[in-house]
Amino acid sequence: MARTHEFTFSGDPDFDFEIRTTIGQAFSGAADIGEVLAAVQGIRAKDHEGWFAAWRGLGDRIAAEADAAAAAGHTVSAASAYLRAASYYATAVNAVASLPSDEDLLPTFRSHRAAWDRWVDLVDLDIDRVDIPYDETTMPGYWFRSGLAGGGPRPVLVVVNGSDGALTGLWSSAVSGALRRGYDALVFDGPGQQSLLFEHGIPFRPYWEAVLTPVLEFVLAREGVDAERVALYGISQGGNWVPRALAFEHRFAAAVADPGVVDVSTSWTEHLPANMRALLKDGEDAKFDRDMELGMKFSPDLAHTWRFRARPYGTTGYAETMRAVLQYTVEDVASRITTPLLITDPEHEQFWPGQSERLAALAPGVSMLVSFTAAEGADFHVQPLARALTEQRMFDWLDERLGR
C-alpha cells in the first residue's frame, strides 16, 4: 500500500522516529504532545548536541515541576509529571548515542530511573518492586497488580523490552492496557538492558529461554497467579527474544511479538558493502576490523552510534561484535514454537522489513500475523503513533486466547 501521508516532525529520520515514539506515549500519560514539539522545535538535522540538550532540558524542567507539585501536596499532578519526565529522560539516554563521549549516559539514566521511581511511589496503582533470580544475580523489576482482577487467580502479562527501550515505553506499550483489562503485569531489566547494562555491565545474551524461564518460575511462585493464563509480550528486539524463548519454554499461554524479528543481524549487515560482508564470511576478521576502523574515521557520527549499539553485546572488535550479533536468530528453532503467537506487521518497517512475515512462515501452525498500515496512521517500527490501536488488537486477541 502506498503511503497516505508524508508529514515529518524533523528532517532527520532518526530524530523524527524518536519524536513519534515519545509523543505516541501521550495516550497513556507518558508524554504531553505540545511540550515535546515545543522542546524540539528548530533543532536541525545532525545537531546531536542540541538534540540531547533539548530532551535533557525538558526532563529537568518537568521533573522540577513534579518536585514542586509533590512538595505542595498535589500528588496526582506530581505523579503525572514524574512519568512524563521519566519518558523525556529516556529519550535523552538514547540521544547520548550520537555524542562524542558517554559521560552523560549514566547521570541521564539515573535521572530517568529516579523520576520513574517517584512516579511508582506516588501514582494510585498497586506496584511492588521485585528482584528476579538470574544466574548469580537478580534482575530488578516492577510488578503491577490490577484492581480489576477480583479475588480469584489473576492473569499475568510478562513484558519484555527491546535493545534500548526504557520502562516508560513498556508502561505505554503494554502495562497500562493490561491493568485496564484486569491483568497483572511484570516489567524488568534483563541482560544488556537499562540498569543491568549501564550500572552493572551485564551484556545481552542470545538464548532468552535462559532469561524467561527464570522469569516464568518467579511469576508462577507469586500468590494469586493463574498459572494457566500467563502471557508474554516483546517489543522491538524483544520480538526476537520472545520467539527464541518460546521455542524452548512452552508454558506461556499466549505471546505477542511486536514486531517479529527472525534475525537481528540484518539491521547491521544490510548497511555493510558487499566486500565487507565477504570478509566476515571468509573469516578475515583482521581485514574487516582494519577497514571498519578506517571508515569510522571518516564518519564520527557513525563511530559514536556503533559504540552505543555495540555496548550491550559485551564485545570489543568490529568483527567480534558482528559475530555476536549473528547469534541472535530464530531461523533454526522457530518451528519448535507451540505457543499461540500474535505477530505485528507494520507497513514501512524500517529496521527488520519482511521479518514478521518470515517469523509467521517459520511457525505457521501457531502464528497470527496482524498488519498495521499507513492509512491507519500505524506504519513504521512498533507503530509509534498508533499504540492505542496496537493495544486494542493485541489485548482483544490475548483475551480470546486466554478465554477471558
Residues 200, 169 share a domain: yes
- Where among 119, 145, 167 does a domain terminate? 119
CATH number at residue 85: 1.20.1440.110
Residues 396, 312 share a domain: no
Query: Quick one: pLDDT at residue 5?
Result: 53
Query: Quick one: pLDDT at residue 4?
Result: 42
- Where among 119, 149, 171 does a domain terminate? 119
Residues 378, 314 share a domain: no
Determine, yes or no, domain membership for 384.
yes
Query: Quick one: pLDDT at residue 53?
Result: 98
Residues 236, 87 share a domain: no
Query: Quick one: pLDDT at residue 6?
Result: 67
Residues 137, 94 share a domain: no
Query: Quick one: pLDDT at residue 2?
Result: 41
Query: Quick one: pLDDT at residue 69?
Result: 98
Closest CA to 233 of 398, 105, 77: 398
Residues 191, 98 share a domain: no
Determine, yes or no, domain membership for 7.
no
Regions of the chain where pLDDT drops below 70? 1-6, 149-150
Residues 388, 308 share a domain: no
Determine, yes or no, domain membership for 8.
no
Determine, yes or no, domain membership for 385.
yes
Query: Quick one: pLDDT at residue 1?
Result: 36
How would you write 30-42 as a 3-class SS string? CCCHHHHHHHHCC
- Where among 119, 150, 166 does a domain terminate? 119
Residues 202, 302 share a domain: no
Residues 351, 313 share a domain: no
Beta strand 184-188 with 154-160: parallel, antiparallel or unpaired?
parallel
CA pair distance 34, 135, nearest whole angstrom: 44
**DSSP character at residue 44:** P
Determine, yes or no, domain membership for 1.
no
Residues 354, 316 share a domain: no
Determine, yes or no, domain membership for 4.
no
Bridge partners (DSSP) of residue 368 are 342
Determine, yes or no, domain membership for 361.
yes
Query: Quick one: pLDDT at residue 13?
Result: 92
Determine, yes or no, domain membership for 112.
yes
Residues 230, 90 share a domain: no
For the chain, the first-to-last Cα distance in angstroms comes to 34
Please tell me the total count of domains within the chain: 3
Q: Which domain holds residue 299?
A: 267-325
Residues 259, 272 share a domain: no
Bridge partners (DSSP) of residue 184 are 156
